[in-house]
Structure 1
């Protein structure tokens, strides 16, 4: 029972609600960036003949319709609107489940034509668990176990992406994968000037392949680290992807967004600034319903406004 209690405590370790609010805003805004900037090629499947559509297993089990122009463009615009609304924090469950369902179908459309990217796993898990948390405001330090569970599950998915990638390399390529020419072919096919430079160093790419497999196999150790050591480990994760993009232009952008589940996002002020226009709108609406001109209007979640010399409510004289 002690072990079960320890695991439960670890899975549901509380986090500030402000961290959930910041993570939610970042995730939903990335959905819009993904559709319009990072993977705009998915929309071209609207014009691909249906005979080329080979749905993933989940697409065959449900079953889901064969993509056509109306379906692809309809999901695109619905997802843009739903993600933008969800980023505001309003109706977190209804909008959250809507975004997850639409984006899940969007990924099936994207990956059912012969290529499946594994950088979406952690991000899809984040979209699936965020609606379970409920309301959360930027800057709110109130602890939430539901939010802690959502972030922990996302963290596990991020680490599984690394560990299972190493397992796949060894399963399909065997131990010879680390001495193969995988990185050399990648540099030839999609390399950069930086990639060409490191490819000229004898055995450096082979050493990098050993390092990649070792890093992926040891990635679960991030959960053993605490405090600054854990943040240093996450910084190493990000530097790994920075090096990968610099050499062979593979970004793993959705995975990098999901990996922010390890970070204290409630401390990042720019994410809180995104909610200020909503606060101003609430003030304006509240004032229009009865606030006198020039009169301060209290808004839930805003700090109390006091005049010069006034004591806080309940303070000793």
Structure 2
């Protein structure tokens, strides 16, 4: 019985449109990551090979020591494949290829002494999306395979928070909460807003305890009702917005993976562009009424998160 409930929870069906939107978002971010966020990885291949100390996965496989030629090939091939994968076509072939190449890109990036934990959720999303099946933007039919891909990404996102608290206790103990962690971060990379916050007595200590509590309690998001879950995810995003505004740490890949919680099927950029370009009415026409009475635009409100997003029945006057 318990196993069945867990299976149903892990494979809770979601609209295919949500999977399509998340897939496009993730693969477009991979392309943007190569160009804007981690282009410095290409410079790593120019340093002496002795400085390359691969992560465990890089030793187990094993993977070659990066060279300028190897990194250049990975960069251009991965960029092209990520843009193609964002279209949703050949989702298995392109999806697995993007995952393998991006994993190697991250191994190269993180094998020179610093490992960022904000990539975990994104890597899980890249590994799960090829299994999600076909999905088209705006498709309201539900899919368990797509639900599983989003669920395991959500679990990875929350594990990033929850395990971060254990890492703090492991390396800093309670001194992490009572010490000067945030003060040091503000001194190194703080903004004007951070300087104002630092001037408030004891506020940084309260913030450190709050961060630990937030990370330890983050799994609660899975047992909340749909609306409360969305509000909680909104709080997660606001937390990172404040982090960026104060100590300039973006967590961009983590934020992309966290979009797996959102009803992305409501975002219809193609429909918006058509509407802006005068390509069609804002809604679809209902069936016509009595003779001589024109049809009306369907202005039904968006469904709440978790609602059945199948088209509502057509109304007859």
TM-score normalized with structure 2 length: 0.85
Taking a change above 3 Å as real, the CA distance of residues 62 and 228 of structure 1, as seen in their structure-2 partners, is same
Distance in 2 between the 1:272 and 1:134 partners? 23
Residue matched to 2:208: 209
Residue matched to 2:14: 15
Q: CA deviation at 1:193?
A: 0.7
Distance in 2 between the 1:21 and 1:275 partners? 19
Distance in 1 between the 2:47 and 2:22 partners? 35
Distance in 2 between the 1:61 and 1:5 partners? 35
CA contact (8 A) 2:129 2:149 kept: yes
For the residue of structure 1 that corresponds to 2:73, the secondary structure is helix
Residue matched to 2:142: 143
Matches within 5 A, 1:199-278: 199-270=198-269
Q: Pairwise CA RMSD of aligned residues? A: 2.0
CA contact (8 A) 1:22 1:272 kept: no
CA contact (8 A) 1:88 1:275 kept: no
Taking a change above 3 Å as real, the CA distance of residues 188 and 153 of structure 1, as seen in their structure-2 partners, is same
Aligned residues: 280
Distance in 2 between the 1:219 and 1:272 partners? 35
Matches within 5 A, 1:10-49: 10-49=9-48
Matches within 5 A, 1:87-126: 87-126=86-125
Residue matched to 1:293: none
Q: CA deviation at 1:143?
A: 0.7
Could you report, residue by residue, the CA deviation over 1:193-224 in whole angstroms, capped at 9, with x for unpaired residues? 11111111111111100000000000000001
Taking a change above 3 Å as real, the CA distance of residues 272 and 262 of structure 1, as seen in their structure-2 partners, is farther
Residue matched to 2:54: 55
Residue matched to 1:281: none
CA contact (8 A) 1:26 1:271 kept: no
Higher helix proportion: 1
CA contact (8 A) 2:137 2:268 kept: no
Structure 2 unmatched ranges of 5 or more: 276-283, 285-291, 293-317
Taking a change above 3 Å as real, the CA distance of residues 251 and 89 of structure 1, as seen in their structure-2 partners, is same
For the residue of structure 1 that corresponds to 2:89, the secondary structure is coil
Distance in 2 between the 1:4 and 1:165 partners? 28
Distance in 2 between the 1:3 and 1:161 partners? 26
CA contact (8 A) 1:96 1:127 kept: yes
Q: CA deviation at 1:42?
A: 1.2
TM-score normalized with structure 1 length: 0.85
Distance in 2 between the 1:249 and 1:203 partners? 21
Distance in 1 between the 2:6 and 2:236 partners? 25
For the residue of structure 1 that corresponds to 2:45, the secondary structure is helix
Q: CA deviation at 1:11?
A: 0.5
Taking a change above 3 Å as real, the CA distance of residues 72 and 239 of structure 1, as seen in their structure-2 partners, is same
Taking a change above 3 Å as real, the CA distance of residues 43 and 274 of structure 1, as seen in their structure-2 partners, is farther
- Higher mean Cα deviation, 118-127 or 193-202? 193-202
Structure 1 unmatched ranges of 5 or more: 277-302, 304-308, 310-317
Q: CA deviation at 1:273?
A: 6.3
Q: CA deviation at 1:46?
A: 2.3
Taking a change above 3 Å as real, the CA distance of residues 45 and 272 of structure 1, as seen in their structure-2 partners, is farther
Distance in 1 between the 2:46 and 2:3 partners? 52
Residue matched to 1:191: 190
For the residue of structure 2 that corresponds to 1:137, the secondary structure is coil
